Amino acid sequence: MNGRIPHIVQYQGSKRMLASEILRYMPKKFNRLIEPFSGMAAISIAVAFQKRANEYHINDLNEPIVCLLQTVIENPAEIVDKYKRIWEEQFNFPDGHIEHFNYIRELFNAGDKSAENMLYLLARCVKGAVRYGKNRNFNQSPDKRRNGTKPTTIATNVHAISHILKGRVLFSALDYRRVLEIAKPGDLVYMDPPYQGVTNTRDNRYFSGVNFDEFVSAVAVLNRNQVDYIISYDGICGEKEYGSELPQELNCTKILLDAGLSTQATLLGKRHTTYEALYISQNLSLPIDITQRQLTLLESVV
């Protein structure tokens, strides 16, 4: 299949822009891709676009996100139609499109966590960034500069995603450790834990944090079970390091991926390149130029 890899909406933290680099370290063909921290499933979509895996398991603790992905993949016409109706409603709302966003957010927080409401909030909120308050309510603000992704664009991408994934995905909203329990040789697990690697504290972008030691133990079990995995984790921006490195006893290969200029640094008048770390399991077949590429990246960072 040729062309551009489809995506549903802009989603902060998505690995969509790095997907082509991440896929370089995956086998050309494997049985099943498991994403325990899927977000908007950018990696699953990219892998399916290249027809690398037979099956997919998409999981995220944020159940409305999983519901949205499942509806997109299994009932694309339904979500396109419902999104179109909500999106058009904003132009007829008595108090304007900002109040319309607030209205949909109130409905969502009151219990109507439908796929179309989740999609509209993502398409209209600032930076496509999911934010939850201590009361577990969605509290991100609307982007006042735009009206959200047009229904025609949504339709094109949604139908493309459904075409490559429908009938091949298991969906769940479970703790990542329960998902890892089903992984077996022949599968590939891709993990992108909460922002800045795994933290011991709750992050308002997520329903809960992930304990560092528990995560390391879970990865060690994958090693013992001979399950291949790739993990997006810590990183570097300028002279600042984000997150803790995975311990050497896991025997992973660490790669630094160039994620481009830091938007935040640019706003402050600085030019800092962000490098995101990728950890690759020991048994995973790697490109023969991996060592040289890593040395080149490390030299550029230093």
- The answer to whether domain 19-63+169-301 and domain 70-156 are alike in fold is no
Residues 207 and 210: their CA atoms lie apart, in Å, by 10
The pLDDT, as a whole number, for residue 10 is 75
The whole-angstrom separation of Cα 300 and Cα 20 is 21
Structure confidence at residue 237 (pLDDT): 64
Question: Does the domain formed by 19-63+169-301 have CATH 3.40.50.620?
Answer: no
What pLDDT sits at residue 15? Answer: 77
Q: Residue 271: what pLDDT? A: 52
Beta bridge partners of 171: 58
CB contact at 8 A, 258 and 297 = yes
User: What pLDDT shows up at residue 240?
Assistant: 64
In one letter, which amino acid is 240?
Answer: K
Q: Where are the domains of the chain?
A: 19-63+169-301, 70-156
User: SS3 sequence, 244-297?
Assistant: CCCCHHHCCEEEEEEEEECHHHHHCCCCCEEEEEEEECCCCCCCCCHHHHHHHH
Question: Are 220 and 272 spatial neighbours (Cβ–Cβ below 8 Å)?
Answer: no
Low-confidence ranges of the chain (pLDDT < 70): 1-2, 11-14, 195-208, 235, 237-243, 260-272, 285-302
| Predicted local confidence at residue 259, as pLDDT | 74
Question: What CATH class does 70-156 carry?
Answer: mainly alpha
Query: Tokens representing 13?
Result: 């933290």
